[in-house]
Amino acid sequence: MVRAAVRALHPNTRALRGFRAARKRFYRQMLSAHAARQAADDKPTG
pTM: 0.50
**pLDDT for 1-46, tens place per residue?**
667 766 777 676 667 778 888 899 999 999 999 999 888 887 766 6
Please tell me the distance from the alpha carbon of residue 26 to that of residue 36, in angstroms, as a whole number.
Answer: 15
Q: Domain locations in the chain? A: 1-40
Q: What is the 3-state secondary structure (H, E, C) of 9-30?
A: HHHHHHHHHHHHHHHHHHHHHH
Task: Of 28, 24, 25, 45, give the one whose Cα is nearest residue 36.
Answer: 28
